Amino acid sequence: MIQRKHYLSEIRPFYESDLIKVITGIRRCGKSIVLEQIKNELAKQEKDIIYLNFEDRSVSLQITNDEQLIKYIEEKRSKDKEKCYVFLDEVQTVKNWNLACKTLRLHNISLFITGSNSKLLSKEFTKELSGRYVAFEIRPFVYKEILQYAAELKRDISITDYLVFGGFPKRLEFSDEKAVLQYLNDLDETIVLNDIMNRYKIRKEELFRKLVNYISIHNII
């Protein structure tokens, strides 16, 4: 996976800050990859690092609420190093995650968290984190990044391909057009159904889907 240097350069000045670093964005845009790249940079400096991915059931079943999360990190952090760098991927699955984050940042912890836009909207940061955060929105690949990743995969991607299929990184791993379309359609279904319709309790499903399709088509044109 390519280095997303633009985002890293924006986030890097806050590595040592006690502000909670919130990395958000649409599903499958590469939030976890950016989080991992930050972690790798700090690991090269031999920092004390704890990483938890709450999409992993072995993690989410073990840590379900703020008290368990705080206890786990306090037990796992190194006692020999002053600052600990904690990475919480998809943290919104933890009950009272905001209380855990606000507590951890007071314990000499540099905290990085990710969450999908459906769960962590910018207007909710202020409410849940009381202004003790700095937010970075990650987007799918721009064409330059598409070309870089395609080169890693030893593939040729045209500008037409990008305009038609977009910049979601995962879709480049499929060379068959039917597989690409299935992946993107399923992703679209998840975003529209889970992230929008369920969240806002939209009842007129068919009408809303027609509206989404109309906007999507006219944005492309």
Cβ-contact 220, 163 below 8 angstroms:
yes
For residue 133, is it left (φ>0), alpha (ψ between -120 and 50) or beta? Answer: beta
Given pLDDT bands bounded at 50, 70 and 90, which one contains residue 221?
very low
Residue 125: the pLDDT is 63
The pTM (predicted TM-score) of the whole model is 0.84
- 99-143 residue pLDDT tens: 999 999 999 999 999 876 555 555 566 677 888 999 999 999 999
- 54-103 residue pLDDT tens: 999 999 999 999 999 999 999 999 988 789 999 999 898 899 999 999 99
* Low-confidence winner among 37-51, 86-100, 204-218 (lowest mean pLDDT): 204-218
Average pLDDT over residues 177-181: 93
